[in-house]
Amino acid sequence: MTVSYRQPGVVLTDRHFTVPLDHDAPKGETIELYAREVVATDKAHQDLPWLVYLQGGPGFGANRFVGKGAWLGRALKEYRVLLLDQRGTGHSTPANRQTLPLRGGPAEQADYLTHFRADAIVRDCEAIRRDVTGGAPWTVLGQSFGGFCTVNYLSAAPEGLTAAVITGGLPSLDAHADDVYRAAYPRIERKVTAHYARYPQDVERARRIADHLLAGEVVLPNGYRLTAEAFQSLGIVLGGSEGSHRLHYLLEDAFVRTPQGPALSDAFQEEVQGLLSYASHPLYALVHEAIYGQDTRPTAWSAERVRAEFPQFDAAKTLAGDGPLLFTGETIHPWMFDCDPALRPLRETAELLAARTDWTPLYDPARLAANEVPVAAAVYHDDMYVDTAHSLATARTIRGLRTWVTDEFEHDGVRAGGPRVLDRLLALTRDEA
């Protein structure tokens, strides 16, 4: 049943679709997709072109806007917008510790999850486009991992697109996961160094917390085992526009005095477990490295292996000296599947995915070189999550792509910048800027 309702300035409609789990087996098992159609109230009865939004991740549902927040207000000036919950996320058929056992054991679960990469998401888009637009092509906006999906779209089904806009999401076309993380750790270190330059008092605070965690086990209220490594992974917030400030405020309230001595405060523990838990987005942990799999080499816990090449991230070694503790960033590690109760039942499944050697290519360089779809991409200078050099190398291989390289924003520029980022990129696709 289709249901429409209103928020300030917009009309929303819930849309539901059934698609094959494996598009190469269209008569086989199906899954459900959910998307939210959004149109400006004063344009609700107009025949408008469509823009489909592909969220970052992997593993996150589309933004739940109220009204015309962030970039949405700009888009609604001329489009109907489809906010797609990519397969396995949001209100689409979920994939998590509760539902994956329906597939069978870890081997069956791992096989199932191979169908949750960019190529399957793009084929979903093409399957539902016929229902949504009547077959007319649409514009795609891809944020972060959504940009990875957009480059796959340009490779696999450019006929479905009138234009493509990418924000912080131009992937390397051929880098192995090891290459991605070897480029990532130095960027992460630069972000941490910049944080400590802004908040030098946090150097001692972070060391004190890590020292406390190395001295004894801390279990958060939700059952998450907070280790020193897990604490370091809070650095993932440093890639956002407000991340450094958020981390600072978290660290300043870490300890309280108790009859047994200093302890991590309830308020600190509550916020930390919200930041570290994968309960709301387990696919992010399960298939994150798989989004880089394109050949017969396994990803094999790449971020964990490559981290060993950067000993300055070792908390115990840092605390044995007097240097600052380095936080980490967008990296997935096997210990997360021991620490996080939302991931523990999926540890063996994750191991099987990490060992997989039959990944198929996600991008077609020849087709990208012949691209005819207007494309514009925001590349954020020293983006913590997506390597700038990799992005620019890819930009040079996509015919006609126009880049906007900027240090005005962090990775979340399309949100933090409001309508300005989308407005500029749309202008670039139209040769208006």
Of 177, 172, 191, 288, nearest to 239 by C-alpha is 191
Return the SS3 of 353. helix
Are residues 85 and 34 in contact, defined by beta-carbon separation less than 8 angstroms? yes
Considering the domain architecture, whether residues 40 and 118 belong to the same structural domain is answered as yes
Residues 84/35, Cβ–Cβ less than 8 Å: yes
Q: Is the pTM of this model over 0.85?
A: yes
Q: How far is residue 293's CA from residue 296's CA, in Å, rounded to a whole number?
A: 8
Torsions phi, psi for 3 (to 5 deg): -125, 130
Same domain? For 344 and 398 the reply is: no
Give the pLDDT confidence score for residue 1 in this predicted structure. 63
Q: How many whole angstroms separate alpha carbon 149 and alpha carbon 141?
A: 10
* Backbone region of residue 178 per phi and psi (left: phi > 0; alpha: psi in -120 to 50; beta: other values): alpha
Residue 148 and residue 121 share a domain: yes
Q: How far is CA 221 from CA 30, 46, 233, 271, 274, in A?
A: 37, 50, 18, 11, 11
One domain for residues 336 and 403: no
Residues 278 and 390 in one domain: no
Domain closes at, from 297, 325, 354 = 354
The pLDDT tens digits for 202-212 are: 999 999 999 99
| Active site positions, annotated | 144, 358, 411
Determine the Cα–Cα distance for residues 157 and 3; give it in Å rounded to an integer. 30
The count of domains in the chain is 2
pLDDT digits (tens, 9 = 90+) for 156-209: 999 999 999 999 999 999 999 999 999 999 999 999 999 999 999 999 999 999
Q: Of 336, 354, 372, at which residue does a domain stop? A: 354
pLDDT in tens, 351-407: 999 999 999 999 999 999 999 999 999 999 999 999 999 999 999 999 999 999 999
What six digits make up the tokens of 83? 């906010």
Its domain, for residue 136, covers 3-174+363-429
Residues 405 and 348 in one domain: no
- How are beta strands 10-20 and 402-406 bridged, if at all? unpaired
The domain spanning residue 75 has which CATH number?
3.40.50.1820
Sign of CA dihedral 424, 428, 429, 431: positive
